[in-house]
Structure 1
């Protein structure tokens, strides 16, 4: 909440990672489909933003370029899993791990208080903290989502599954009268 050099660095690396992520994703799409994609650029920018979020205020500009490149590359290929999962879960974990590697005491110390170095500053335990944080967040999200969906199953009109008739006909056809793109 302070207007200091650390906040300025956080703004810089956030914009840098988003830009590099967008360009990287767009270039991967061009390599595969031989056309430029605005949606690809936006997807890469979002992946870059998610990737840099844990490291914003802890890493410098060169690391932000790597964060963006990793976001655009890994998430572009991870979209074969599921898009939201690839853009947010995978980006969050990769960004968290990269923060453990590239956090710099000099950048974190721009506010005059914080001293959180990463792996490259010989604080090797920080990577373990970041991995534990990722595992805890994924576990919590999985357990809470499972509980919420279990409760929803027993509340009328909140079930996530369609009727047997709708599944046979196809959910798009049954719900909207046609195929959605």
Structure 2
């Protein structure tokens, strides 16, 4: 098999990174000075929980591969699963080299009346995990080692581009996807992460956006990137197929639901009452959305299906993500219910059907993230924290931020797709698509 220049370049890049890692001498900080606290501030129970939570979030990416892999046609199961799984390799390395710095490094942005608002982190703050060690950070996770916080956040960065793959499944070149994933993470994910979760971030500090565990950062960004991808790559030659393996979808849903407890409850960054609340709201929102989805399907003349139950459960998990630490369990039940109806309706509407979003990523993750952001701004507890608690300004800021994030992620992703297509053509040939990506891209088959 002839090896193209693009693969040689990719191998050269990983070689350079590996050698740089061999010779890199990370700076060891003195505890109790500068931005770091002493080791005596570490809380053992918090460390234990976040270690477990980070492992749970990592499990979500293989879970997603089963979830998506079972939905596609038989000729594209392996390629679809690999598109999720490979993110564990690509984004983990990117996160260590520069991603964490861009997300949580010193803020680069602008000042208004002496107040600084960050747009992205300084890439020279934590390159190759420089200064990222055993001591807690004063402002970010003050009871656990900073390296644990960085690794926990890495799992969020990993799953975000993997979520996008469902929109262009069965027709994208693997090498093109690798390039897109890197560009998306650098240009869309890291600045959005910084603006929402860094103490100096624009959406956090100025807009007051409440995103407990990633409804905006993860799901909205993935959803709008998915919509852009479906538009850029166009429709499949044959959209009619039977899902290859429904038990895979059930297995993937179970792994996602299980891992989501780390995703949401872990975002409390400690073994505390907020984590327990997030655990409860996550469970009930998903259960509510699952039951609503299958019942809504039935009253609209569709069958009660395992696929529908799984999609509904995931929609509930997406919807509660930004609100999970801010709302009560009964409120989470309503959040799952109403978001399930909206997503179900959108997934089955004629307008969206015209766009070949293969696995309905926008209807589920994009709309789930949008609904989650709106409902968080309505129900979040605390003084002037939301519309129902006197926070009219907070609600307005959330809606302005919603518009800003939507425009940034959609049009930013469009540019990245176009750029990727200019460098390496995005779409496989008609022949490769007919053969299936398992054979044409990877020379493997489930048979």
TM-score interval for Structure 1 and Structure 2 normalised by the shorter chain: 0.7 to 0.9
**Conservation of the 8 A alpha-carbon contact between 1:103 and 1:116:** no
**Structure 1 residue runs of 4+, over 4 Å off?**
none
What is the alpha-carbon distance in structure 1 between the residues aligned to residue 384 and residue 332 of structure 2? 17
Match of 1:112 in 2: none
Match of 1:99 in 2: 376
Q: Secondary structure at the match of 1:154?
A: helix
What is the alpha-carbon distance in structure 1 between the residues aligned to residue 421 and residue 389 of structure 2? 49
2:427 is aligned with 1:143? no
Match of 1:155 in 2: 423
Alignment of 1:88-127 (within 5 A): 88-105=365-382, 117-127=385-395
What is the alpha-carbon distance in structure 1 between the residues aligned to residue 297 and residue 345 of structure 2? 10
Query: Which ranges of structure 2 fall in alignment gaps of 5 or more residues?
Result: 1-268, 437-447
Give the deviation of 1:129 after TM superposition.
Answer: 2.1
1:101-158, Cα deviation, whole Å (9 max, x unpaired): 00111xxxxxxxxx662111111111112212222221121122112111122124x3
User: CA 1:3 to 1:116, structure 2 compared with 1: closer, same or farther past 3 Å?
Assistant: farther
What is the alpha-carbon distance in structure 2 between the residues aligned to residue 143 and residue 10 of structure 1? 32
Match of 2:313 in 1: 45
Query: Which ranges of structure 1 fall in alignment gaps of 5 or more residues?
Result: 106-114, 177-181
What is the alpha-carbon distance in structure 2 between the residues aligned to residue 22 and residue 130 of structure 1? 27
Bigger RCO of structures 1 and 2 (CA < 8 A, at least 6 apart): 2
Give the deviation of 1:10 after TM superposition.
Answer: 0.8
Query: Given the two structures, how large is their TM-score scaled by the length of structure 1?
Result: 0.80
Give the deviation of 1:59 after TM superposition.
Answer: 0.7
Query: Given the two structures, how large is their TM-score scaled by the length of structure 2?
Result: 0.34
Give the deviation of 1:60 after TM superposition.
Answer: 0.7
Aligned residues: 160
**Conservation of the 8 A alpha-carbon contact between 1:30 and 1:37:** no
Alignment of 1:2-151 (within 5 A): 2-33=270-301, 35-80=303-348, 81=352, 82=357, 83-105=360-382, 117-151=385-419
Q: Secondary structure at the match of 1:70?
A: helix
What is the alpha-carbon distance in structure 2 between the residues aligned to residue 133 and residue 116 of structure 1? 18
Give the deviation of 1:34 after TM superposition.
Answer: 5.1
Computed over aligned residues only, the root mean square deviation of the Cα atoms, in angstroms, reads 2.1
**Conservation of the 8 A alpha-carbon contact between 2:384 and 2:390:** no
What is the alpha-carbon distance in structure 2 between the residues aligned to residue 126 and residue 73 of structure 1? 26
